[in-house]
Amino acid sequence: MERQQAIVVDGKALANDIRSELANRVTELGRAGQRPPCLCVVLVGDDPASASYIKGKQRACTRIGFESVEHRLPANVRERDVLALIEGLNRDPEVDGILVQLPLPAGIRAEAIAEATDPAKDVDGLHPINAGRLLSGQPGLVPCTPLGIIEILKRHEIDMQGARAVVIGRSAIVGKPVGILLLQQHATVTFCHSRTRDLAAVTREADILVAAAGSARMVKGDWIKPGAAVIDVGVNPIDGVLVGDVDFDAAKDVAGLITPPRGGVGPMTITMLLCNTLRAYESRTNSS
Ligand code: NDP
């Protein structure tokens, strides 16, 4: 019998569906005489990739009717000046979400920035209070990429309960939180990292494989269990082209479902940022 090709996730289409639901919510708020949610993005330095991510996030906001405010600071700014800006944004009643684009220039600690952000406005879900809430199963703001991954799996009706899920990567923004979310969905989760022995043997067991290592095309076709759901988070510039952590051409012949290196996880990450901003707005204004 001929094997069917994997379903290739259309992250843009999923994202558009969710974004139109969000736009409808903004229209409802306007009809009720309420202001729209407001996301404030902070860019430190002039990294072109970060500047382009920020632009994409702002565009996504304005398209659905959210307010979007940008603060740019020079690369040589002092950490205490960034902290002072964040404290001002924490106090501003019109700001619902605060996002400081990572990575930050040397000398500015991402942890200090995360801890300075009001947990109620921490739309990146990086404040230790939100990380703790996620771990203890309490409601809080959860990092966007992990939320987007779970949404992709749900919208494709991938059965997570009892599934073997393998996550490559253990960062605070992707690997760890996506593993915890998969656990909440009752998957049996294994975390892998740079010191995992015989990684391919572990990934071959996975019904759901999340690759978030930042290593170009490291996951080969024969690392994948036939029929598995493969979520490729990696964004790796190779000769001016962005490639994923998964060897897409080989993997699509083995997997049951796969995200493409572009137009898969990325659009869902931005969409979950919008969802988090709305959530922050609703819980701050009691308007859900
Ligand atoms: P980090 O660099 O913070 O973490 C990478 C993780 O992968 C680490 O835990 C590291 O292990 C592990 N790792 C690295 N190389 C290997 C390897 N060869 N074998 C096994 N494990 C390995 O990255 P992030 O979590 O921030 O991001 C991961 C990737 O996802 C990047 O390419 C990033 O650009 C992309 N990304 C994409 C997003 C999107 O929306 N599409 C959003 C966020 C990130 P150890 O802990 O041992 O060092």
Residue 5: the pLDDT is 85
Please indicate whether the domains covering 35-118 and 143-266 agree at the CATH topology level. yes
CA of 133 to the centre of ligand 1 (A): 23
Regarding the beta carbon of 177 and ligand 1, being less than 6 Å apart is answered: no
Ligand 1 pocket mutation, candidates 101, 168, 210, 268, criterion most atoms within 8 A of CB:
168
Regarding the beta carbon of 260 and ligand 1, being less than 6 Å apart is answered: no
Q: Band of the pLDDT at 4, cuts 50, 70, 90?
A: confident
Regarding the beta carbon of 145 and ligand 1, being less than 6 Å apart is answered: yes
What are the Cα distances from residue 173, in Å, to 4, 101, 113, 272, 286?
34, 12, 14, 13, 27
Secondary structure, 3-state, 69-105: EEEEECCCCCHHHHHHHHHHHHHCCCCCEEEECCCCC
Q: Which tokens sit at 193?
A: 């990292």
Q: Which tokens sit at 251?
A: 């993997």
Residue 1: the pLDDT is 60
Is 10 considered catalytic here?
no
Is 124 considered catalytic here?
yes
Which residues, 6+ apart, have CB-to-CB distance to 258 below 8 Å? 6, 7, 8, 9, 229, 230, 231, 232, 246, 248, 251, 252
Domain ranges of the chain: 35-118, 143-266
Q: Which atom of ligand 1 is nearest to the CA of 265?
A: 41
3-state SS class at 44: strand
Fold of 35-118: Rossmann fold (3.40.50)
Residue 2: the pLDDT is 65
Nearest of 124, 125, 127, 106 to residue 116 by alpha carbon: 127
List the catalytic residue out of 96, 124, 232, 245.
124
**Is 143 within 8 Å of 268 (Cβ atoms)?**
no
Contacts 24+ apart (CB under 8 A), 21-28: 22/64, 22/271, 22/274, 22/275, 22/278, 23/63, 23/64, 23/65, 25/278, 26/64, 26/65, 26/66, 27/65
| Residue type (1 letter), 174 | V
Q: Band of the pLDDT at 24, cuts 50, 70, 90?
A: very high
Which CATH number describes the domain made up of 143-266? 3.40.50.720
List the catalytic residue out of 57, 121, 176, 252.
57
pLDDT in tens, 121-149: 999 999 999 999 999 999 999 999 999 99
| Residue type (1 letter), 116 | A
pLDDT higher than threshold 90 for residue 3: no
CA of 211 to the centre of ligand 1 (A): 8
pLDDT (average), residues 226-252: 96
pLDDT in tens, 83-106: 999 999 999 999 999 999 999 999
Give the H/E segment covering residue 29: helix 11-31
Is 176 considered catalytic here?
no
What are the DSSP calls for 5-23, one per residue? PPEEP-HHHHHHHHHHHHH
Residue 286: the pLDDT is 80
Ligand 1 pocket mutation, candidates 57, 101, 194, criterion most atoms within 8 A of CB:
194
Regarding the beta carbon of 126 and ligand 1, being less than 6 Å apart is answered: no
Regarding the beta carbon of 262 and ligand 1, being less than 6 Å apart is answered: no
Regarding the beta carbon of 37 and ligand 1, being less than 6 Å apart is answered: no
| Ligand 1, atom 3: closest residue by C-alpha | 171
Residue 263: the pLDDT is 96
Q: What are the beta bridge partners of residue 209? A: 166, 230
Tokens 């406005």 belong to residue: 121
pLDDT (average), residues 214-240: 97
**Is 99 within 8 Å of 41 (Cβ atoms)?**
yes
Nearest of 209, 171, 214 to residue 190 by alpha carbon: 209
**Is 166 within 8 Å of 190 (Cβ atoms)?**
yes
Regarding the beta carbon of 266 and ligand 1, being less than 6 Å apart is answered: yes
